[in-house]
Chain A
């Protein structure tokens, strides 16, 4: 995963709350290997009609070039499916701005380089009316936690650990392996003090 510091792109508003992961990617598409790309499945059933054709009135369809999503509260609530994040990334998105996120979705986002930028509910309201139905230019400064939507500047909140991870593109497995000695020591002591917690061979 590559780190990033700034992003220049186009923002689109999806003024809906509780956009859950079942909507972000319906379950029936989740058996597809990632290499085939998940972009076409993003919000599939709300974005497309029964025949699979794009609904012209749906905000994301009016901004095919968009890379930043501004959405309502509780974005990404529901299941742990990381495919919801893959769908956003494969459709070209770098960030989602919302007043709150599902916990697992937010963590999955950061693990894939997608910024879950938290903004105040009143900022969200302003932003939605500011963007309206015409997608606008956006610049995100990840390091300083700021974004400008055309002339409108705002601050967003991001856990410091997540900021570092996004900036540096850190891979957790590499990081963890630097602590192998501590993990081994913990494991030995744990097995001694909690023998009942150690599974028998193949549990």
Chain B
């Protein structure tokens, strides 16, 4: 009898070139995505005079420093230099580059799937912790550091010790106004930011099956915020329908062979998981972070925590977070006034996210300023075709070009000191969106609701009012 394998085990075995006596495997890398931040790795291989062994498997994307406004004339010399460095490296090594003037440019974790560069069954690396996004396709996708990026460039392989496997099963129907983002913040709040450290996560259950690819990408994207380097969903008809016909997706005989291979990519019944978590979709409300770690998240209708009521370890962290965030213990999270909003990022900058936000915003004027940066220029074009840009601009938000933008602030899109931002991004770390910035993570629909009222708001109320 063959051993029952998890999806993760199958993907790992398919890429394992060899395993050393100490248990570390050398894995084949199918796709390697680089961006401006990969400059350290390019410098490392240049210093050793090494070539890129598989330029066809390597794709360069301008995203981290991409200006979202006025990109034809970059004023900041540091930003211009970072983008130029990537350009020069791409040219030197003959890499396909998604540059600023490319109508398909966007955030690396949006462009990969959108172009069909990301496929089920592939091993995908990128020097970015949100590479787990691509796991939504049933790919083995994980973020790596600069030394590892240099190693992949030089060898097209990577050394890894096989992590343990965790399954998070979510069953049932999500309430209107509750999204993949809320599922992610819900489990991270429950298990903690270290809850999945050392594990690869497989997301399963009827709720996950019902999610679109966009939703699955949001879910897998946030795996790292719970400590997991890998997040994945077994491919199914939804996956194949998304991939088929994408520019770089296989065609003809290769498509047929791919489909056959992808159909085998699921965990065998009774496969063993090191940790098995179950969540009832009905228990998930729109969820918002209140602190400086993604685990410091609460359902929208919950009061802010009282540190005195928490365990000693959590108590200090909570006090400190409340102070940084300028919040008062025990007060309601809903109703907290915000200064600005942001919709975008590799977490929630896809077309479905923009549609969800626009559906809430339509016919309203916002009370606070905000920026909308689509996940890619193709999404931007699609949104404009649907008239979503008009909804955003009519409401009073700024409609911009694509990039990592205000999620990480490298391109100069920053939140000011002590300013509070309702944000569809992935990290509420101190200073993430700018020194002293106060970030509240939430879904794009919740960000839209906050923009309308000027305070953190339960989007379900707005939706109900609209329906009635």
Which residue numbers of A lie inside 8 Å of B, CB to CB? 17-18, 20, 22-23, 26-28, 30-31, 33-34, 45-46, 50, 73-74, 77-83, 85, 100-104, 107-108, 111-112, 159-161, 164, 172-173, 175-177, 179, 182-183, 186-187, 190, 194-197, 199-203
Q: Complex Cα distance A26/B436, Å?
A: 12
B154 within 8 A of A: yes
B17 touches A46 (CB 8 A): no
Please indicate the chain B residues that have their CB under 8 angstroms from the CB of A30 in the complex: 37, 410
Q: A28-B410, A103-B227, A104-B145 are in contact. Are A79 and B22 (CB under 8 A)?
A: no
Of A27, A33, A85, A161, chain B has the most CB atoms within 10 Å of the CB of A27
Q: Complex Cα distance A22/B261, Å?
A: 40
Surface stretch bound by A, among B55-63, B170-178, B281-289, B301-309: B55-63
Chain A residue at minimum C-beta to C-beta distance from B85:
A31
Q: A18-B317, A82-B40, A194-B121 are in contact. Are A176 and B150 (CB under 8 A)?
A: no
B431 within 8 A of A: yes
Interface residues of B in 148-194 (CB under 8 A from A): 148, 150-151, 154-157, 159, 161, 163, 193-194
Chain B residue at minimum C-beta to C-beta distance from A160:
B22
A196 touches B255 (CB 8 A): yes
Q: A73-B194, A186-B17, A202-B55 are in contact. Are A46 and B430 (CB under 8 A)?
A: yes
A102 touches B78 (CB 8 A): no
| A-B interface, 5 closest residue pairs, ranked by CB to CB distance from nearest | A108-B145, A196-B258, A111-B147, A82-B146, A82-B145
A80 touches B128 (CB 8 A): yes
B298 within 8 A of A: no
Please indicate the chain B residues that have their CB under 8 angstroms from the CB of A77 in the complex: 193-194, 227
14 A–B contacts, CB within 8 A, in A order? A50-B435, A80-B129, A82-B146, A101-B197, A107-B145, A172-B151, A173-B48, A173-B150, A173-B155, A182-B17, A194-B14, A194-B261, A195-B257, A200-B248
B409 within 8 A of A: yes
Q: Complex Cα distance A110/B71, Å?
A: 38
B313 within 8 A of A: yes
A27 touches B409 (CB 8 A): yes
Q: How many residues of B contact A (CB 8 A)?
A: 82
B59 touches A203 (CB 8 A): yes
Q: Complex Cα distance A102/B332, Å?
A: 32
B157 touches A176 (CB 8 A): yes
Of the residues A46, A80, A108, A199, contact of B56 by C-beta under 8 Å = A199
Chain B: minimal CB distance from A118 (Å): 11
B147 touches A197 (CB 8 A): no
Chain B: minimal CB distance from A193 (Å): 9
Surface stretch bound by A, among B26-34, B350-358, B443-451: B26-34
Chain A residue at minimum C-beta to C-beta distance from B249:
A196
Chain B residue at minimum C-beta to C-beta distance from A26:
B431
Please indicate the chain B residues that have their CB under 8 angstroms from the CB of A176 in the complex: 26, 151, 154-155, 157, 159
A112 touches B147 (CB 8 A): yes
Q: Complex Cα distance A28/B147, Å?
A: 21
Chain A: minimal CB distance from B23 (Å): 7
Q: A102-B197, A183-B28 are in contact. List 10 more A-B contacts (CB 8 A).
A: A20-B427, A22-B431, A31-B81, A45-B431, A50-B435, A107-B145, A108-B146, A111-B145, A172-B159, A199-B57
Chain A: minimal CB distance from B85 (Å): 9
B216 within 8 A of A: no
Please indicate the chain B residues that have their CB under 8 angstroms from the CB of A73 in the complex: 194, 313
Chain A residue at minimum C-beta to C-beta distance from B291:
A18
Q: Complex Cα distance A45/B434, Å?
A: 10
Which residue numbers of B lie inside 8 Å of A, CB to CB? 14, 17-18, 20, 22-24, 26, 28, 30-31, 37, 39-40, 43, 48, 50, 55-57, 59, 65, 78-79, 81-82, 94-96, 115, 117, 119, 121-122, 127-129, 143-148, 150-151, 154-157, 159, 161, 163, 193-194, 197-198, 224, 227-229, 248, 250, 254-255, 257-258, 261, 292-293, 313, 316-317, 408-410, 417, 427, 429-432, 435
Of the residues B43, B157, B408, contact of A33 by C-beta under 8 Å = B43
Chain B: minimal CB distance from A168 (Å): 13
Q: Complex Cα distance A194/B121, Å?
A: 10
A159 touches B161 (CB 8 A): yes
Of the residues B43, B157, B228, B254, contact of A196 by C-beta under 8 Å = B254
A203 touches B57 (CB 8 A): yes
Of the residues A22, A50, A194, A197, contact of B427 by C-beta under 8 Å = A22
Chain A: minimal CB distance from B86 (Å): 11
Q: A161-B161, A182-B18, A187-B28 are in contact. Are A195 and B410 (CB under 8 A)?
A: no
B23 touches A161 (CB 8 A): yes
Please indicate the chain B residues that have their CB under 8 angstroms from the CB of A46 in the complex: 430
Q: A23-B430, A81-B37, A176-B151 are in contact. Are A202 and B95 (CB under 8 A)?
A: yes
Please indicate the chain A residues that have their CB under 8 angstroms from the CB of B14 in the complex: 194
B43 touches A197 (CB 8 A): no
Chain B residue at minimum C-beta to C-beta distance from A184:
B17
Chain B: minimal CB distance from A40 (Å): 16
Please indicate the chain A residues that have their CB under 8 angstroms from the CB of B410 in the complex: 27-28, 30-31
Please indicate the chain A residues that have their CB under 8 angstroms from the CB of B28 in the complex: 183, 186-187, 190
Please indicate the chain A residues that have their CB under 8 angstroms from the CB of B198 in the complex: 103
A100 touches B194 (CB 8 A): yes
B293 touches A18 (CB 8 A): yes
Please indicate the chain A residues that have their CB under 8 angstroms from the CB of B254 in the complex: 195-196
Q: Complex Cα distance A25/B28, Å?
A: 31
Q: Complex Cα distance A107/B129, Å?
A: 13
Q: Complex Cα distance A197/B54, Å?
A: 14
Chain B: minimal CB distance from A126 (Å): 15
Q: Complex Cα distance A115/B283, Å?
A: 41
Q: Complex Cα distance A44/B251, Å?
A: 51
Chain A residue at minimum C-beta to C-beta distance from B36:
A31
Of A82, A103, A108, chain B has the most CB atoms within 10 Å of the CB of A103
Please indicate the chain A residues that have their CB under 8 angstroms from the CB of B435 in the complex: 26, 45, 50
Q: Complex Cα distance A179/B19, Å?
A: 11
B227 touches A173 (CB 8 A): no
